[in-house]
A and B are shown apart, each in its own frame.
Chain A
């Protein structure tokens, strides 16, 4: 049961207020029709599912309803941080786009 500081509300809030919204930074292909079935299938279905650090989105569902980016360790449930989508993207890129 983590506590996140919502980067929009700027308050520490309980896990119960957030709902999981999947892996972060899966960009929708700009031109889906240009992709073959395999590449479109990757976008639709394939997720990282790592043991360790994972970049993911949570929605502050019973708070501001905004999405936040969270770097969470799937093994220890440790939280490295929570950012707005834009700020999280910068941190993610600065870390080389991976865990």
Chain B
């Protein structure tokens, strides 16, 4: 427990700005520039978590997005965020974070008791134990609670989010040395360049490696000079704290920029977005995403204080935190040596156990001269320490095979770092189907070293397996130059001096699981995936249980699941699986990399598309008139329509009874503006309508209108409405409110793809017209008061006629059509006059107690008449014949209209299809539930034959009793009419556990002769 601060000048923290924060309620101190992880390490907080399955103590492992253990809950209340990686949380004054695991406390975890039974909790434990579905619900709550992880916020998110779209010539992903150099090359060539980097400042690994040099400059100076030049280029924009999380086809990249997360909640700019989603379409992409070091797998490798070697280096050089005083480093490669030298120079006692028998002489010299001890040919058999690492037993390794040759010393330590090599961050490259290839020399899955394996994507640096700084920069000059030239710009002849002081590399050892001399599963648990508690023995078990595909092994063991998505564990897991399967690593391959690279909040994805701005809301021209009259509204598609108009505190039922009776006895009025309206012109309109509708349009004269059913090619009804003939080459079609866009698209589809020879063109005019339906026996009297230039007499203006004239001084089209069965006029005016005409009609009707009504009354009135609502009484499986609407089909038309041929398909022609009928309950006050199932027996004992279901059900004010419409198998022949077999018209409706006897009748309940609308 002996971390300490090293206040060296290259550290990226500001030692003059101390900060206080709390973790799990305890007060800690850090500095401006710290992450939560670096500050906790500096204050010796080793154990931050308990493991998922066994409750084992866990600490920080990494220094970035790869962190598997240190998941914290940040802040409380509405702005709380679960499962942030402490390694990515920038410290601010007053920050409050909590553990997300460990129940009841970090110090004592109930699962760790279970951990003693760990051998009974092998891979696939939950699958195997809870195969019985009955058992799982009983245990789920307990297990999920014990397994922990953060809590979702319980309050609405008060933060705002934003989306931005970009087009850029060249997008660079990654702000390390190669990314910055790429941006510089493209920027100098005059291209528009964006560079995204997920960290709080550009520099990448250079920030962790201040003693390296580029072209004779210390990397700090090179970085400063490069950023200065980039800042001077107006065509280059650099976005820090911006994580590219998805790469889609054709160079579409999505990235999330953290704008305010690094600020204390009280300092955030109110109303300004917390995060911003960038959607970038790039001409070319340079992927310079770097690599993440993977640890070696060895016994007890999960004790707090065991990190990746690169994380130890980063904490020292970037954050000024030495993670221990006695540090043991275990490696398979050269990469740990610079950090070892830096740690030794900072005053740590450093031992390097290099698993190779042949090691790099220059690095060994530098390490020893810095004061580090080097043991060649040794690995760690098992670490000691439970809540904090205290040392490790080394073993001498065979030079060739990964086996134990002999015993080694015990090395005491208070921090341990290991490196099994670098794993290139190939995730984005693979998001749209790319696959990495295994490079046996680099011991890594890499993307093609040719730089651009995919159209428009250029890869540079560590992502290609080019790990040395000089080689990576030289490759970048070449690859970025190719990208620039592919956009038609000269790459420039700028000579870069890239010389660095690194010794040449000695090959790494191919080792993933360090042997302990025991068969797998017999020694101490050696973890591959910390977040999911997957040990090497679990992978072996999955293979013994005959899983062969790595995708299946992943799912049986949970390898690579979770918030880190296996950034540390995957390659080790693949390699261990390959060994267990006796295959090579490329034969085993990788699992599939999918977006998102790192977790993205829902708020960011939603952006401004939430609440009132989730989707457009459409209002009719009369909306304010309805609001003023106290209407209740209901959404119908995007429209907000008046539902009913309560007065004196009425409930919906009372309103609807009153509104409906007004329309039946005197006059009511409804806003019908939302019906879809399509203006169709051209000399072939009649023929077009003949093909599109089931009925005939050849004879329809100007000033007349007709109801039509629109079918799909399968013969099923998909829309209906009234179409008016304006002139021989001009018709006005109406559609259902919800179907307007679909019908428009349908008409365009047939015209463009099948009948381009027909001279027709369609214009959507839904929003151009406002429509007031004046309904009831007194409607003619009301309209006559404000319409003087149209002869409204029954002889001159017949049912299904329409006239052009003026209403309330405004040009109008008046249609004598009815969706209620009453005498009715639909008055259409320019939407800009809609409100005026609505008020004028209400004034004109005052003497007749004109009553505005909403959609609910409209539904009741039409159901009393048996008029269908497409989508409610039909469901895409109803033909006109099923609806008993043969009158709306003309089989005599010469052209085989859409859907006609399907009437004779064997399935469509069946006699026992579900057909639309009316239902009357025995109890006149019993209103059936819509959706109630129709059965043949008064005893409901599912499973049993379901004959159909109730589609519409209301209490009818006109009849003073309940009515229902239903689709019933062979229903038309069951209707209670002369000649029906006794009892055949009796069925039962079953809903909510209750059965009601019903009589099958015609769906037309009121005025079957249509006398009322013909007055």
Tell yes or no: B152 within 8 A of A by CB: no
**Using an 8 Å CB-CB cutoff, how does the interface string of A54-79 with B read, 1 for contact, 0 for none?**
00010101000111000000011111
Option from A3, A27, A28, A59 in Cβ contact (under 8 Å) with B250? A3
How far, in Å, is B472 (CB) from chain A's closest CB? 29
Tell yes or no: B901 within 8 A of A by CB: yes
Contacts of B16 in A (CB 8 A): none
**Using an 8 Å CB-CB cutoff, how does the interface string of B613-639 with A read, 1 for contact, 0 for none?**
000000000000000000000000000
Q: A66 to B906, Cβ gap below 8 A?
A: no
Q: B745 to A40, Cβ gap below 8 A?
A: no
Contacts of B756 in A (CB 8 A): 85
Q: A67 to B749, Cβ gap below 8 A?
A: yes
Tell yes or no: A32 within 8 A of B by CB: yes
**Using an 8 Å CB-CB cutoff, how does the interface string of B741-772 with A read, 1 for contact, 0 for none?**
00001001100111010000000000000000
Whether A85 touches B753, Cβ cut-off 8 Å, given contacts A31-B896, A44-B713, is yes
Q: Restricting to B685-717, which residues have a CB under 8 Å from any CB of A?
A: 713-714
Tell yes or no: B169 within 8 A of A by CB: no
Contacts of B900 in A (CB 8 A): 32
Q: A76 to B714, Cβ gap below 8 A?
A: no
How far, in Å, is B377 (CB) from chain A's closest CB? 47
Q: A41 to B905, Cβ gap below 8 A?
A: yes
* Closest B residue by C-beta to A12: B281
Our count of residue pairs bridging A and B at CB distance below 8 angstroms stands at 51
How far, in Å, is A51 (CB) from chain B's closest CB? 13
Q: A85 to B432, Cβ gap below 8 A?
A: no
CA distance A30 to B248 in the complex (A): 42
Q: A33 to B713, Cβ gap below 8 A?
A: no
CA distance A27 to B754 in the complex (A): 7
CA distance A27 to B905 in the complex (A): 19
Whether A37 touches B906, Cβ cut-off 8 Å, given contacts A1-B248, A44-B714, A65-B748, is yes
CA distance A78 to B900 in the complex (A): 38
Whether A61 touches B745, Cβ cut-off 8 Å, given contacts A40-B901, A76-B433, A77-B432, is yes
Whether A1 touches B901, Cβ cut-off 8 Å, given contacts A14-B281, A44-B713, A85-B752, is no
**Using an 8 Å CB-CB cutoff, how does the interface string of A1-32 with B read, 1 for contact, 0 for none?**
11100000000001000000100000110011
Whether A67 touches B248, Cβ cut-off 8 Å, given contacts A32-B900, A40-B905, A41-B905, is no
Option from A32, A57, A61 in Cβ contact (under 8 Å) with B896? A32
* Closest A residue by C-beta to B741: A61
Tell yes or no: A99 within 8 A of B by CB: no
Whether A3 touches B281, Cβ cut-off 8 Å, given contacts A33-B901, A76-B433, is yes
Whether A67 touches B905, Cβ cut-off 8 Å, given contacts A32-B900, A61-B745, is no
Q: B754 to A44, Cβ gap below 8 A?
A: no
Tell yes or no: B249 within 8 A of A by CB: yes
Main SS at interface, chain B: mixed
Option from B713, B749, B754, B905 in Cβ contact (under 8 Å) with A37? B905
Tell yes or no: B338 within 8 A of A by CB: no
How far, in Å, is A39 (CB) from chain B's closest CB? 10
Tell yes or no: A35 within 8 A of B by CB: yes
Contacts of B252 in A (CB 8 A): 1
Contacts of B714 in A (CB 8 A): 44
Question: How many residues of chain B have a CB within 8 Å of chain A?
Answer: 23
* Closest A residue by C-beta to B715: A44
CA distance A32 to B252 in the complex (A): 44
Q: Restricting to B244-277, which residues have a CB under 8 Å from any CB of A?
A: 248-250, 252
Q: A44 to B281, Cβ gap below 8 A?
A: no
Contacts of B218 in A (CB 8 A): none
CA distance A41 to B713 in the complex (A): 10
Whether A21 touches B905, Cβ cut-off 8 Å, given contacts A2-B249, A14-B281, is no
Tell yes or no: B727 within 8 A of A by CB: no
CA distance A46 to B250 in the complex (A): 31
Contacts of B745 in A (CB 8 A): 59, 61
Q: Restricting to B874-909, which residues have a CB under 8 Å from any CB of A?
A: 896, 900-902, 904-906
* Closest A residue by C-beta to B246: A1
CA distance A77 to B748 in the complex (A): 26
Q: A44 to B249, Cβ gap below 8 A?
A: no
CA distance A56 to B125 in the complex (A): 47
CA distance A31 to B900 in the complex (A): 11
How far, in Å, is A32 (CB) from chain B's closest CB? 4
**Using an 8 Å CB-CB cutoff, how does the interface string of B507-542 with A read, 1 for contact, 0 for none?**
000000000000000000000000000000000000
CA distance A42 to B752 in the complex (A): 22
**Using an 8 Å CB-CB cutoff, how does the interface string of A65-97 with B read, 1 for contact, 0 for none?**
111000000011111000001000000000000
CA distance A41 to B907 in the complex (A): 11
Whether A40 touches B753, Cβ cut-off 8 Å, given contacts A31-B896, A32-B896, A77-B249, is no
* Closest B residue by C-beta to A66: B752
* Closest A residue by C-beta to B900: A32
Q: A67 to B753, Cβ gap below 8 A?
A: yes
Contacts of B432 in A (CB 8 A): 77
How far, in Å, is B885 (CB) from chain A's closest CB? 21
How far, in Å, is A55 (CB) from chain B's closest CB? 13
Option from B250, B433, B749 in Cβ contact (under 8 Å) with A1? B250
How far, in Å, is B727 (CB) from chain A's closest CB? 25
CA distance A85 to B753 in the complex (A): 7
Q: B901 to A32, Cβ gap below 8 A?
A: yes
How far, in Å, is B691 (CB) from chain A's closest CB? 10
CA distance A75 to B900 in the complex (A): 37
Q: A59 to B248, Cβ gap below 8 A?
A: no
Q: B754 to A28, Cβ gap below 8 A?
A: yes
Contacts of A1 in B (CB 8 A): 248-250, 252
* Closest B residue by C-beta to A41: B905
**Using an 8 Å CB-CB cutoff, how does the interface string of B714-756 with A read, 1 for contact, 0 for none?**
1000000000000000000000000000000100110011101
How far, in Å, is A95 (CB) from chain B's closest CB? 20
Q: B249 to A33, Cβ gap below 8 A?
A: no
14 inter-chain pairs at a CB distance below 8 angstroms, sorted by A residue, are: A3-B250, A27-B754, A28-B713, A28-B754, A32-B900, A32-B901, A35-B901, A44-B713, A44-B714, A59-B749, A66-B752, A67-B753, A77-B249, A85-B752
Which are the 8 A-B pairs with shortest beta-carbon distances? A32-B901, A1-B252, A1-B248, A32-B896, A77-B249, A67-B752, A28-B754, A3-B250
Please give 15 more A-B residue pairs, beta carbons under 8 A apart, in addition to A67-B748, A77-B432, A85-B756: A1-B249, A1-B252, A3-B250, A3-B281, A14-B281, A31-B896, A32-B896, A32-B900, A33-B896, A33-B901, A41-B905, A57-B753, A59-B749, A67-B749, A67-B752
